[in-house]
């Protein structure tokens, strides 16, 4: 199948939280396609981050799609509230949700795009039967919870498997990658089948500026 165009999702976890409004507007003006928001509860992952009011605030200052990644326990209890707050793409983990199929159906029914995330220790096979119900699979290339970690190259084979299944089933499902993504690792992921790149440090802390960091990721093909 023909590959989807590359999408860059700028992760605000790496931005200056004291200047969040300016940071979102600056990265939007620099060419990012989506804004990536990590929601962590300190239980599913060992960190606490952003909640409903924060997403509502971002929604007020940008029209870009909000790519919201829920790293929380019992995400099915909160999806409606996150969508009401402004989430356009809602990613949930399969590791903590025994009713993942119904959760995905509800996300779509409520008007958002459903996506599943796989931690590094979770086999690709977990997502194969769910592909027809998804718009995107997020392959975590670091263990979730903190930004600035090193890319785990063993995740490339997981991407290849998922891309093969998507193509065989002739589905229009994106493969997103998150964790240690820069021009070099993004190139490896693109070759393995990824088309959607979450980047924080390589954009917000790029010595050449935000636009340069985004261009480096978009110029993979």
In DSSP notation, the chain reads -PPPPPEEEEEGGGS-GGGHHHHHHHHHHTT-SEEEEEEEBSSSSS-B---HHHHHHHHHH--SPEEEEEESSSGGGTHHHHHHHT-SEEEEESTT-TTHHHHHHHHHHTTSEEEEEE-TTS-GGGTGGGGGG-SEEEEESS-TT-SSPPP-TTHHHHHHHHHHHHHHTT---EEEEESS--HHHHHHHHHHT--EEEESHHHHT-TT-HHHHHHHHHTT-
pLDDT tens per residue, range 88-103 = 999 999 887 888 999 9
Q: With 90 as the cut, is the pLDDT of residue 40 above it?
A: no
If pLDDT is split at 50, 70 and 90, which confidence band does 50 have? confident
187 occurs within a structural domain: yes
67 occurs within a structural domain: yes
2 occurs within a structural domain: no
Q: Which two tokens stand for residue 14?
A: 């790496």
The predicted structure's pLDDT at residue 147? 63
Based on the residue annotation, tell me whether 16 is a catalytic residue of this protein.
no
State the average pLDDT over residues 211-217: 95
Q: With 90 as the cut, is the pLDDT of residue 128 above it?
A: yes
Query: Could you list the residue range(s) of the whole structural domain that residue 169 is in?
Result: 7-218
The predicted structure's pLDDT at residue 96? 79
Q: With 70 as the cut, is the pLDDT of residue 26 above it?
A: yes
Q: With 70 as the cut, is the pLDDT of residue 106 above it?
A: yes
1 occurs within a structural domain: no
Q: With 60 as the cut, is the pLDDT of residue 53 above it?
A: yes
- Rounded Cα distance between 135 and 122, Å, is 19
The predicted structure's pLDDT at residue 145? 67
Domain containing residue 201: CATH number: 3.20.20.70
161 occurs within a structural domain: yes
83 occurs within a structural domain: yes
Q: With 70 as the cut, is the pLDDT of residue 214 above it?
A: yes
If pLDDT is split at 50, 70 and 90, which confidence band does 8 have? very high
Among residues 67, 135, 178, 195, the one annotated as catalytic is 178
98 occurs within a structural domain: yes
Range of lowest pLDDT (42-46, 60-64, 66-70) = 42-46
Counting residues of the chain whose pLDDT is more than 90, the rounded percentage is 79
Among residues 33, 38, 135, 195, the one annotated as catalytic is 38
Based on the residue annotation, tell me whether 195 is a catalytic residue of this protein.
no
Domain count, the chain: 1
Q: With 60 as the cut, is the pLDDT of residue 6 above it?
A: yes
pLDDT tens per residue, range 185-201 = 999 999 999 999 999 99
The predicted structure's pLDDT at residue 2? 62
146 occurs within a structural domain: yes
Range of lowest pLDDT (60-69, 140-149, 150-159) = 140-149
């Amino acid at each position: 199948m023909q590959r989807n165009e590359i999408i860059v999702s700028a992760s605000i976890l790496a931005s200056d939280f004291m200047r969040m409004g300016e940071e979102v507007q600056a990265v939007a003006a620099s060419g990012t396609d989506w804004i990536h928001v990590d929601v962590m509860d300190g239980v599913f992952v060992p960190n606490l981050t952003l909640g409903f009011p924060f997403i509502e605030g971002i929604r007020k200052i940008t029209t870009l799609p909000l790519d919201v990644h829920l790293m929380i326990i019992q995400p099915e209890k909160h999806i409606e509230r996150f969508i009401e707050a402004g989430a356009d793409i809602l990613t949930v983990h399969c590791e903590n949700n025994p009713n993942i199929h119904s959760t995905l159906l509800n996300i779509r029914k409520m008007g958002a795009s459903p996506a599943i995330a796989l931690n590094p220790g979770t086999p690709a096979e977990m997502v194969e039967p769910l592909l027809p119900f998804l718009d995107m699979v997020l392959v975590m290339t670091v263990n979730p919870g903190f930004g600035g970690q090193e890319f785990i190259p063993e995740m490339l084979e997981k991407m290849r498997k998922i891309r093969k299944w998507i193509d065989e089933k002739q589905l229009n499902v994106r493969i997103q990658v998150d964790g240690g993504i820069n021009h070099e690792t993004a190139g490896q992921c693109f070759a393995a089948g990824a088309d959607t790149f979450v980047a924080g440090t390589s954009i917000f802390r790029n010595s050449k500026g935000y636009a340069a960091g985004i261009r480096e990721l978009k110029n993979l093909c």
